[in-house]
A and B are shown apart, each in its own frame.
Chain A
Amino acid sequence: MSLRRYVLRRTLLTLPILVGVSVLTFGLVKLLPGTPVDYVLQFQEATPELRASLRAQYHLDEPVWKQYLLWLSDVLRLDFGERIVSDRSVSAAIAERLPETLVLGGISFLIALFVGVPTGVVAAVRRGSLLDEGSRVVALLGIATPNFWLGLLLILLFGVHLNLVPVIPPVAPVLAPESLAFLVLPAVTLGTASAALFTRLTRSAVTEQLRQEYVRAARARGLDERTVILKHVLRNSLISVVTVAAVQVAFLLDGAVVVERVFSWPGLGRLLVRAILQRDFPVVQAVVLLVATAVVVANLLADVLYAWLDPRISY
């Protein structure tokens, strides 16, 4: 099987999961007391004509399975309906916020990766050293610290006391310098737990590899230690790191919800929490669906990457 066919096969296998995700997301809103119509009518005058047209809009007179299919067909065209609290389309609201979350998540991920992995490698290579012990302690602290607390503390220290960074998000495009400067604290907050995890995992993966016979064999060939570590050990270790990186996507999405609230960063997480408090269920549905899809896709990518990296996996 070529790589292309493998990708195709794995993608096909994830489709049932995506279907399940959509069913669950759809079903969740169905479990709400009342109907979306009731919620909309909280904001408007409840005339019989309005009620009837809203019922038609939400397909409430159809059998449930048909409602699901109609909803699904809309979703696949990226039409998530209208918000309950306003007339705006959900898709527009999401599109507005998506880049903010992507940039925050992306930077956090990069921080976690480029801080965590090298630290883990060095810690494993220099086992028992001060750096190793120190990094283990820091990693443990990083895992135990609530991210919202960390964010608040960072604001307190760098924003309020030291006055180094702004504490209010700037009104500027997400990639503008002011925005990126503001994003430093949130990204560090969000990335810390992941960095801690990457450190621990890389350290144990590298330690495991260093025990393997091929490392000694590589040295016996006359290769210098740097080549042995960077060429042979690292490549083998990264295979197991890749799968974890995919799981981190879910983890970061969780964290983004909280961190965006801490820093008032106008991203999807903040939208989600607001929508829940306002009972704006089309938004909740759409965001949850989007997030779950992202996780599934990330895991698929990780699977493919894993197969590509490890020649022992046949495809």
Chain B
Amino acid sequence: MSRSPLDGRGRLRVQGFDGDTESVETDDTTAPTAPTAATDRRAWARFRRDRAAVAGLVVIVLMTLLAVFARPIEVGGVVVQPIALAPYDPAASGVAPTYRPPSLSHPFGTDWAGRDVFSRVLYGGRYSLSIGVVAVSLALVVGVPLGAVAGYVGGWVDEAIMRFVDVLYAFPFLVLAIALVAVFGQGFWKLVGALVVVGWIGYARLIRGEVLSVVERDYVVAARAVGASDRRILTRHVVPNAVAPVVVQATLNVGTVVLSAAALGFLGLGLQPGTAEWGSMLSAGRDTLVGGEWWVTVFPGLAIFLFVLAINLVGDGVRDALDPDAGPDRYRTREAR
């Protein structure tokens, strides 16, 4: 083994090299920057670059407009929206012979009651969209506070909430919704209610996870030591960081909710029978198929498919824009762990 005469460290010194004797600054990155307007702009720019996501957004906007302008809207007797893109009243039966294939006057054909399928599909967007947005919003209102409280307060409150979540979690999404509809009946708000009861869990878990991960960080400990109130800590530190995953989850969940509402409609457990809701329109589907009347099945289903596809594209785009490092399914599985 060759030991060099450089054994004794410290005996060599370089002279004459005019190095810089200034101390090196360490990068202080202990506190993550709260999202600012600049980060929002960057996120939007990233989203814009995702062509699929933008396409999805366009589709959603288009479908929303079609649903809004399908038939006139009256508020308190005043006609707020006069345009009727749908040529026929969606509920009007017998406007044409039953089971007519697509034609110029009825682009999507007519159904078993002589109703114009095209008008019904256009109008049906209202149900799907409203159910989707309302159910997800209410689920957020329930889930986010509960999750935040569970994470922040901890102790038996956390245990209780989480055990309850675990129990609810054991019921498959649709099965529980079905059971709730069975007990509470059908109708728009009961349907929304059932979807909310089933849907808030994901947000609660997500927020709780975010809160827990933030609460342990140094700057929160420091804030507490300085005497900042709990509410201030929550709003200034926890909420901004948690917004992104929740937004992604919520966006993707609109698609899940719409699919579930349509499934319930298909099973005859959604809105009142005969409503021009896309899923309900498919429920007589089996009988019509054998008779060869494919248009009654294809078009409403296509509407659901396009809407959910668009939502998924937007959701993926939002996730890539806000949280570029997440894997493609971090928010997709039912558990947002």
Q: Which residues of A contact B (CB under 8 A)?
A: 16-18, 20-21, 24, 28-29, 31-32, 140-141, 143-149, 152-153, 155-156, 159-160, 167, 197, 200-201, 203-204, 208, 244, 247, 250-251, 253-254, 257-258, 261-262, 264, 272-273, 276-277, 279, 281, 284, 288, 291-293, 295-296, 299
Contacts and interface: CB of A to CB of B under 8 A. Distances in A.
A21 B169 CA distance: 9
A272 B171 contact: no
Given A167-B290, A295-B172, A140 B312 contact: yes
7 contacts: A17-B163, A148-B262, A148-B279, A152-B301, A200-B329, A258-B174, A291-B171
B301 A149 contact: yes
B266 interface: yes
A144 B267 CA distance: 19
Contacts of A257: 174-175, 178, 267
A26 to B, nearest CB: 12
A254 B174 contact: yes
Given A31-B184, A145-B305, 13 more contacts: A20-B164, A149-B304, A152-B289, A156-B289, A156-B294, A160-B292, A167-B290, A197-B333, A200-B328, A251-B334, A273-B178, A288-B175, A292-B171
B139 interface: no
Interface string B172-183: 111110111111
A127 to B, nearest CB: 13
A273 B267 contact: yes
Contacts of B332: 143, 197, 200
B286 A264 contact: yes
A32 B185 CA distance: 10
Contacts of A299: 170
Given A16-B163, A204-B329, A295-B172, A273 B183 contact: no
Contacts, number: 155
Contacts of B234: none
The 8 tightest CB contacts between A and B, nearest first, are A149-B301, A20-B167, A254-B174, A144-B309, A204-B327, A250-B172, A144-B308, A276-B182
B259 A146 contact: yes
Interface of B: 163-164, 166-168, 170-176, 178-184, 255, 259, 262-263, 266-269, 279, 282, 285-286, 289-290, 292, 294, 297-298, 301-302, 304-305, 308-309, 311-313, 327-329, 332-335
Nearest to B334: A247
A262 B172 contact: no
A254 B173 contact: yes
Contacts of A148: 262-263, 266, 279, 282, 285, 301
A146 B178 contact: no
A271 B327 CA distance: 39
B194 to A, nearest CB: 12
A270 to B, nearest CB: 10
B297 A247 contact: no
B182 A284 contact: yes
B263 A146 contact: yes
Contacts of A284: 179, 182
Contact of B301 (A31, A153, A200, A203): A153
B183 to A, nearest CB: 5
A204 B333 CA distance: 13
Given A152-B289, A264-B286, A296 B170 contact: yes
A244 B332 CA distance: 11
Contact of A261 (B172, B266, B329, B335): B266
Nearest to B173: A254
A194 B322 CA distance: 27
A144 B171 contact: no
Contacts of A17: 163, 166-167, 170
Contacts of A201: 329, 333
Most buried by B among A153, A167, A299: A153
B328 A160 contact: no
Most buried by B among A141, A258, A272: A258
A141 B61 CA distance: 20
Contacts of A156: 289, 294, 297
A262 B286 CA distance: 7
A300 to B, nearest CB: 11
A276 B178 contact: yes
A291 B327 CA distance: 30
A296 B170 CA distance: 6
A21 B333 contact: no
B183 A32 contact: yes
A10 B165 CA distance: 18
B166 A20 contact: yes
Most buried by B among A17, A148, A254, A293: A148
A89 B268 CA distance: 26
